[in-house]
Amino acid sequence: MKKAIFNSLKLVVVLASALQIFFLGKVYAQEEITSPSFRIVTPTINSGTLVSSSTNYYFYSALGEISDPKLMSSSYSIGAGTPSTYIANVPLITCFETNTDSANSQCNTSYPNQNGTKGEAGEGGFYDRAKIVIDTQNNPTDALYGIQISTDNFTTIQYIDGVTRQAGTAKSIANFLTKDQWESFPWDSANIIGLSPNTEYQVRLTALHGDLTESPPSPSVNATTQIPSIAFDIDISGDTWPNPDESAAPYSIALGTLTPGEVITAPNRIYLDLGSNIISGISTYISDLNDGLLSNSASNTIPSPSVGNPTTVDLSTVSEGFGIKISNINSTTPSSLVRNSNYYNASIQDQVGRLRSTGTDTILTTSSGIYAGRAQIEVKATASFATPPADDYSDNLVFTVISNF
């Protein structure tokens, strides 16, 4: 190894204000060291040069800073020299999510409902939004963070606007917010909006703590937005609310023997399972085929309240009738399952809502998305002494679920 030692080397740079900076010390010049298995490259010490200028400013590169390829690799870099000590720490991404629940979310406790994105959007997750949580990597609490987003692995880069929370092409200081500003209410459910459904996005972060201190980008994380969707399932089971047995189509319910003057409730119940991520919510409608229980052999119909156009009736007060009652509902966030009061009255045990063939009636609604919604429906009927006996009284019920937009 060859060494050349220089004592009391004096480097001087003159700034516009005539300020002088002196660097006194020893610099060891070292040749490259090589072997069959490695090579140590000599560090480079720059001389400080004018990089750019305009009528308003001069931009010089730093004088005497070290550039050493031994301090970096494809997965890390160690800053050398004075400027690197001012650069903000590279942040990391704790999570970037569009379709998670409490079991697989990487940042579940940050959601208001603590059930992943499904607790915020409903079954199916986000189709136009996403949630990102920042790992500050020990940056000060007032450090700012910018979110970069792409659909082509950053060949094209967009920046999330700190006000609208939507992607745009302009990069400005308005795109940098503190961790708390990015993640606090009203942006604690989702803090990136305006995304396209069924699209994979990549995101990464930079940190900023003062002028000219922006960090290099963080490692990127990707997630795919979902599509607007409705999940709907029917089960026929006993009165085992809220945990029915699973069943498959075709679905049928036996009412049993109708005794004149007595309201009969079918032993089995209809269970509807509902889920959706549609922001405007969903509605469930019902119609039937026969306007009641029809017997072809007796040429008679035990009517639903639709006959004569009432929307609901207490079967215990009429001689004959047929309808449904929504006896139980439950749901989790983000919105509740609401039943039409024509199909449920807590104080009237045998109140039923109408069934008609010439139109539909809304029986259940939500105001936004819903996760794990469930309704239990009872089928009720009563016959009079004048009702012709027959064993083929039947009706077909049709449930339809559509979005509210």
The DSSP string of 31-88 is --EE-SS-EEPPPEE----EEEE-SS-EEEPPSS-EE-GGGB-SS-B---STGGGTSP
pLDDT tens-digit series, residues 190-204: 999 999 999 999 999
Ramachandran quadrant class, 120 (left: phi over 0; alpha: psi -120 to 50; beta: rest): alpha
Whether the CB-CB separation of 67 and 48 falls below 8 Å is answered with no
Separation between Cα atoms, residue 344 and residue 347, nearest integer Å = 9
Ramachandran quadrant class, 367 (left: phi over 0; alpha: psi -120 to 50; beta: rest): alpha
Token pair, residue 289, equals 């085929």
Token pair, residue 24, equals 């006194």
Nearest to 171 by CA among 157, 186, 159: 159
The CATH classification of domain 92-224, taken from the options 2.60.120.200, 2.60.40.10, 1.10.3720.10, 3.40.50.300 = 2.60.40.10
Separation between Cα atoms, residue 315 and residue 306, nearest integer Å = 13
DSSP 89-114: PPPEEEEEESS--TTT-SSGGGSTTS
Distance of CA 268 to the CA centre of its chain: 36
Nearest to 329 by CA among 286, 271, 282, 288: 271
- Determine if the pTM surpasses 0.85: no
Residues 6+ apart with CB under 8 A from 279: 121, 128, 368, 369
The domains of the chain are located at 3-78, 92-224, 230-403
153 secondary structure, DSSP code: T
Residues 6+ apart with CB under 8 A from 117: 97, 98, 99, 100, 101, 105, 111, 125, 126, 131, 190
Tens-level pLDDT at each residue, the chain (405 residues): 444 433 333 433 333 333 343 334 444 444 555 556 555 544 554 545 554 566 655 444 444 454 545 445 555 555 555 555 678 999 999 999 999 999 999 999 999 988 899 999 999 999 999 999 999 999 999 999 999 999 999 999 999 999 999 999 999 999 999 999 999 999 999 999 999 999 999 999 999 998 888 999 999 999 999 999 999 999 999 999 999 999 999 999 999 999 999 999 999 999 999 999 999 999 999 999 999 999 999 999 999 986 555 789 999 999 999 999 999 999 877 889 999 999 999 999 999 999 999 889 999 999 999 999 999 999 999 999 999 999 999 999 999 999 997
